[in-house]
Amino acid sequence: MKHWLVKQEPEAYSFDDLIRDGRTDWTGVRNFQARNNLREMKTGDPVLFYHSVSEKRVVGLAAVSREEFPDPTDEKWIAVELKPVEKFETGVTLDRIKAEPELDNIALIKQSRLSVMPLTDAEFRKIIELSK
């Protein structure tokens, strides 16, 4: 099992939207590295949901509910399906993440433009801990 983080502007599609919908196709990824990360996602993998731009914080936990399939918005690319697991009572801000020495090498900081990124087990656990 691998751990992931996906980024989305909450004005475009928020974690509350995911909760309302019950699941969603994660479409529109047009970066080769992010696409390769989508390709590695397996059913059941945990996914941290990050609200980018206006909020800059991890707001919830989702899971992969369907592995790679053609992106219906452009079939040259791929998508996965995500389902909500838990909304965090307190989001974990980017500033809080940057303040944690254990998270110095997290892709969220090192590759800030990447929209789908892997997390190590330790990075994932630390963010979950910070959300409590």
How confident is the model over 36-95, as pLDDT tens digits?
Answer: 999 999 999 999 999 999 999 999 999 999 999 999 999 999 999 999 999 999 899 999
Global pTM value: 0.97
First and final C-alpha spacing in the chain: 23
pLDDT confidence of residue 109: 96
Report, at the CATH architecture level, how domain 3-130 is classified: Roll (3.10)
C-alpha span between 38 and 51 (Å, rounded) = 18
The Cα–Cα gap between 39 and 111 comes to 18
56 burial via Cβ count (<10 Å: 0-12, 13-18, 19+): middle
How many C-alpha atoms does 47 have within 13 Å on its Cβ side? 33
**Cβ(49)–Cβ(61) under 8 Å?**
yes
Mean pLDDT of the chain: 97
User: By C-alpha distance, which of 107, 126, 90, 74 is closest to 7?
Assistant: 107
What pLDDT is recorded for position 60?
Answer: 98
| Confidence tier at 126 by pLDDT (50, 70, 90) | very high
Domain ranges, ordered by start, for the chain? 3-130
Overall average pLDDT of the 6-26 stretch: 98
Give the pLDDT confidence of 92-101 residue by residue, as tens digits: 999 999 999 9
